[in-house]
Amino acid sequence: MPISYAVVGASRGIGLEYVRQLATHPDAVVFAIVRNKKGSFHLAAAVANLKNVHVFEADVVDHASMERAAKEVAAISGGKLDVLILNAGRMSGEAVWKGFKDYPNMDALDADCIDAFKINALGVVHGITAFLPLLRAGPTKKIAVLGTDGAIPNTVYALGLPDLSAYSMSKAAAMLATAKWALQLKDEGFTVVTLAPGLVDTTDTVGTSGDPTVKKILQDIDKNHPAFVLETPEQSVKVQLKIVDSLKPADNGGHFRSHPGNQA
């Protein structure tokens, strides 16, 4: 029996690597959901000759587009989906590293936080809502939402991470949204979890030439902070997929880390 996976936010970074690794399984059918198909050139190159990958467009802040994508998936999968990987996140670029002190005024801070909240937090609610009928129709009923220990208050305090404010606040809300869904779907046999991928260098798939500035920031964190171990998307997703494969209903509501020692 083929296993169907939808990866939301698959154009680059960790989402792209999920598609790459899943596509190597002969039994997997992979639905890669991207904001902009034409602009997803890293994905296009990776899946050019693959028959088990289908690419559809949707933006997690635009619910109508998510419902459209779910319908397109259903048309191929016979109305079912086994595993939903909600990876889309507003995370790239230097601006994501801002702390409260780094905004010119409160209006700018509000606008940035609201934008982050719409993608990172409400995007989880939109994504699960759109694909729920397909997941309910399938036997597997797994949802993994990409989270981060950088949104856990004790960890933020212990590691001394005052910045990444809009990102961390919105990811904290995403993890609560995931917990709410886990409770809501528990009696239907779902397994809904947060999966923290560790500190992953996804800068090589930013644009055509990567993002050397953020790469340097990540390498400095890796060098100066023993709690963080910088990994490649390949290394991180390999472990993440082992976790996804092993998930069972008793894990519902859990917070999983691809590497226990890695705090990102």
Ligand X SMILES: NC(=O)c1ccc[n+]([C@@H]2O[C@H](COP(=O)([O-])OP(=O)(O)OC[C@H]3O[C@@H](n4cnc5c(N)ncnc54)[C@H](OP(=O)(O)O)[C@@H]3O)[C@@H](O)[C@H]2O)c1
Q: Which residues bind ligand X (CB under 6 A)?
A: 9-15, 35-36, 59-61, 87-92, 119, 123, 146, 148, 171, 196-197, 199-200, 202, 264
By beta carbon distance, the residue nearest ligand X is: 13
Rounded least distance, CB 220 to ligand X, Å: 14
Q: Is the dihedral of CA 255, 259, 262, 264 positive or negative?
A: negative
Nearer to ligand X, 61 or 169 (CB): 61
Nearest to ligand X of 56, 190 (CB atom): 56
Burial of 223 (C-beta count, 10 Å sphere; 0-12/13-18/19+) = exposed
Q: To the nearest whole angstrom, how small is the minimum distance from the Cβ of residue 8 to ligand X?
A: 6
Query: Whose CA is closest to 91, among 206, 241, 242?
Result: 206
DSSP-based three-state secondary structure for 110: helix
Nearer to ligand X, 36 or 105 (CB): 36
- Residue 98 vs 186, nearer CB to ligand X: 98
Nearer to ligand X, 62 or 251 (CB): 62
- Bridging pattern class, strands 53-57 and 199-200: unpaired
Minimum distance from CB of 253 to ligand X (Å)? 19
Which long-range CB contacts under 8 A does 78-81 form with residues at least 24 apart? 79/133, 79/134, 79/137, 80/4, 80/134, 80/137, 80/138, 81/4, 81/5, 81/6, 81/31, 81/131, 81/134, 81/135, 81/137, 81/138
CB of 167 to ligand X, least distance (A): 7
- For the CB of residue 52, give the shortest distance to ligand X in the complex, in Å: 20
**In the structure encoding, which two tokens stand for residue 49, read together?**
């000759």
